[in-house]
Structure 1
């Protein structure tokens, strides 16, 4: 993880971690700041953080290993709470186009009780957990791992609470100049994971062809119906 500079000045990552809540970050970054200045700072920060995350993921191989676990699984479950639910939804949507047995864990589809009542050794759980770390996600990962399933944790810190229950940790920093932690690198990591999983998945080509055929038959998309509206 990031360390202090030789002068003792906190690094960008440490400074970001010290502002624990959105209210803290708002007061530190956004009060008495012009929109032009804020935009410039935000764009520069997003570019820097994304480059650092890509460099780390390329070097540590965690996304490749996570993709291998996902491909090898018989059933794939994806979970996240709060803002992380959106990340989980995005990954589940992308994965389900290429591989079978992908389930988003929430009370409207697969509940946590249903999930934890039937964990198999061939199952994998991909869990999104970012500060301030929702208790429910960590507890689900803990119970899933204890039951013999594989856990892939996508989180912002290698020492995050969920890491101790994970077979693989994909570390994605979320440093930003906003009141909200950045989703940019998280979305990029999701894109990497779904793409690498799809590239290794047997039957992906047939599944894509079947989905194209069925969506055309059902007229799901305007660009497939010729409807000018």
Structure 2
């Protein structure tokens, strides 16, 4: 329930101080609540404690919870880091506050991501990977989503040999797509800002009748509209740059679920990899 839903459901009579706070918040939301509560208090002529109590009456566990919600509301409408620079508020926080706030925000992202996804969708993606047979699993993510795709591919390729990472930015993409068949599967990671070539690849897979599954940030994202099954992530961050913690955690869960069903195959694959690494002396001992 967001701020305005809480206000609509608030049935008790407002005090004059509460009414002034409410008028100010309605007129300045969301930016008006991104700064310290004392700024609101100074603007409307009440104490900071009165401001805190008002949001407590609305059901918020803390003023920080309201701020987290406000950042999420604005962030959802703004796609670029440049547009979100102002979301950290007017005051410069301490390093300690940033450290604590970042961990708290990511913990909240993880909790919301878990709640927003259906177990049935997660299981459907796992079953798709487990029953590839002779088909190929293509993994793709470009620009800001590329590290997540690379991470997912690096781990899945040890579990499912027929896993291919599609390059997002070089001239080989067309050559790779020419090999795709209708029985193959695309696992695409596309998190705002949405890379054009990623959307086009998802469109191509769908047009030839191949299956598309994805990790993205909302049902209205371009790839979500082309995918058969989607998992969604929360991206809130104290900085202008989105947090990908929940995306990497979803990848961990997917790999963990695949490994649980393919332990013997994964053990053999890891053993082969270890022998090659030892021969090439890849890692220091």
- TM-score, normalised to structure 2's length? 0.70
Report what 1:99 is aligned to. Answer: 160
Q: In terms of mean alpha carbon deviation, does 20-29 or 124-133 score higher?
A: 20-29
- Find out whether 1:21 has 2:83 as its counterpart: no
Report what 1:46 is aligned to. Answer: 106
Alignment partner of 2:231: what SS?
A: strand
Q: What are the superposed Cα offsets for residues 71-111 of structure 1, whole Å, 9 maximum, x if unpaired?
A: 22221111111111111111111111222021111168893
Q: Select the residue among 128, 131, 140 that pairs with 1:72.
A: 131
Q: Select the residue among 113, 116, 135 that pairs with 1:56.
A: 116
* Structure 1 residue 30 displacement after superposition: 5.6
Matches within 5 A, 1:122-141: 122-141=183-202
Alignment partner of 1:163: what SS?
A: coil
Larger radius of gyration: 2
Report what 2:63 is aligned to. Answer: none
Q: Select the residue among 150, 172, 192 that pairs with 2:211.
A: 150
Q: What are the superposed Cα offsets for residues 5-36 of structure 1, whole Å, 9 maximum, x if unpaired?
A: 33277745323213332122212216532233
CA gap 1:65/1:170 in 2 versus in 1, 3 angstroms: same
Q: In terms of mean alpha carbon deviation, does 173-182 or 210-219 score higher?
A: 210-219
- Quick one: distance in 1 between partners of 2:84 and 2:277? 44
CA contact (8 A) 2:199 2:222 kept: yes
- TM-score, normalised to structure 1's length? 0.85
- Extract unaligned runs of 5+ from structure 1: 224-229
- Quick one: distance in 2 between partners of 1:3 and 1:192? 32
- Quick one: distance in 2 between partners of 1:66 and 1:2? 31
* Structure 1 residue 56 displacement after superposition: 3.1
- Quick one: distance in 1 between partners of 2:169 and 2:99? 38
Alignment partner of 2:137: what SS?
A: strand
Report what 1:162 is aligned to. Answer: 223
Instruction: Give the alignment's Cα RMSD to 1 decimal.
Output: 2.6
CA contact (8 A) 1:2 1:14 kept: no
CA contact (8 A) 1:77 1:124 kept: yes
Aligned residues: 222
CA gap 1:130/1:19 in 2 versus in 1, 3 angstroms: same
- Find out whether 1:217 has 2:279 as its counterpart: yes
Alignment partner of 1:162: what SS?
A: coil
CA gap 1:110/1:213 in 2 versus in 1, 3 angstroms: farther
* Structure 1 residue 47 displacement after superposition: 1.0
Report what 2:6 is aligned to. Answer: 6
* Structure 1 residue 2 displacement after superposition: 7.8
- Quick one: distance in 2 between partners of 1:208 and 1:80? 25
